[in-house]
Amino acid sequence: MTKKLKPIPKFRGEADERKFWETHDSTDYVDWSKAQRVRFPNLKLSTTAISLRLPQGTLDRIKVAANKRDVPYQSLIKVWLAEKLDAE
């Protein structure tokens, strides 16, 4: 037997919608069994620039490793940091 879903109300803005979902269960409004995965290929993650001091020898070694992989050294550093965090 399928549960009767409530209609999602119209919101005046994002703040009103946020308040609503903080106090309501989405399963009363959405049939999650019919949900499908989607991808947002053009979505840019927000980033923050930082300054990081490294010994010149370490930076040189990173640049060599990045050159072998044909990627920018900053990108390689980001990949290595993400891999290390995922391993934690």
How many domains does the chain divide into? Answer: 2
Which domain CATH number covers 56? 1.10.1220
Query: What token pair was written down for 74?
Result: 């900053």
Domain that holds residue 56: 37-88
Q: What integer best gives the mean pLDDT of the chain?
A: 93
Q: Are 29 and 8 in contact (CB under 8 A)?
A: yes
Contact between 74 and 49 under an 8 Å Cβ cutoff? The reply is no
Residues 6 and 49 in one domain: no
User: Under DSSP, is residue 60 helix (H, G, I), strand (E, B) or coil?
Assistant: helix
Pair 78, 88 in one domain: yes
The confidence score (pLDDT) of residue 1 equals: 56
55 shares a domain with 25: no
Shared domain for 43 and 16, answered yes or no, is no
Residue type at 65 in one-letter notation: A
Q: Is 87 exposed, middle or buried (0-12, 13-18, 19+ CB in 10 A)?
A: exposed
To the question of pTM greater than 0.75 for the whole model, the response is: no
Q: How far apart are the first and last CA of the chain?
A: 44
Co-location of 43 and 28 in the same domain: no
